[in-house]
A and B are shown apart, each in its own frame.
Chain A
Amino acid sequence: KAGVTQTPRYLIKTRGQQVTLSCSPISGHRSVSWYQQTPGQGLQFLFEYFSETQRNKGNFPGRFSGRQFSNSRSEMNVSTLELGDSALYLCASSLQGVTEAFFGQGTRLTVV
């Protein structure tokens, strides 16, 4: 059974640009959550999607958005990138809720 796949693995963008990250969950999983990991901050919850609907949202500015498609694949978009957006972005999928979610390897975003 394939795990959670995130693409791309690494990304370098310039301030002011926008970026789209992709996440393919484990087959059959309908819940997809996104997290931002930065040194000293742990994993900060961005949002969670279930059956194409955003169920929950963390405390991030509106520049961070996402969506989920009918096949449960999810994308996350960050507009007007700032240097502080440099982080590892992790996607996690689960059958329904977030308990015991399975994580992808993450996308390392560097904003220069």
Chain B
Amino acid sequence: DQQVKQNSPSLSVQEGRISILNCDYTNSMFDYFLWYKKYPAEGPTFLISISSIKDKNEDGRFTVFLNKSAKHLSLHIVPSQPGDSAVYFCAAEGNFGNEKLTFGTGTRLTIIP
């Protein structure tokens, strides 16, 4: 039962353009969402997060949008740079009385120079 889904396994974007990565979730009890970036042979690194009380959070070139009614979040990267090529995971956390992150399966982003 995949509660957090990233339906696009891969995405290619031209350098300088906008990259949009999508994530859907099924559990309405999730109240905090995170994006992680992962390079090969490295662990995931935290990128940006958003609480369910907000619908947008921005940090430099990275913006995360949350649509609670659609149970959908997206990560926008503008402008895209070659160093952004990596696998991006979205993750969700809920107030279930436990402490764990539920991850999506990841989207491999390739920035084309």
A-to-B contact residues, CB < 8 Å: 4, 6, 31, 33, 35, 40-45, 48, 50, 55-56, 58, 90, 92, 97-106
Contact = CB atoms under 8 A, between A and B. Distances in A.
Q: How large is the interface on B (under 10, 10 to 19, 20 to 34, 35 or more residues)?
A: 20 to 34
Given A43-B44, A99-B32, 14 more contacts: A4-B43, A31-B99, A33-B100, A33-B101, A43-B89, A43-B103, A48-B98, A48-B99, A55-B99, A58-B100, A92-B43, A99-B49, A100-B46, A105-B42
B34 interface: yes
Interface string B99-110: 111111110000
A43 to B, nearest CB: 4
B27 to A, nearest CB: 14
A41 B105 contact: yes
Chain A interface secondary structure, helix, strand, loop or mixed?
Answer: strand
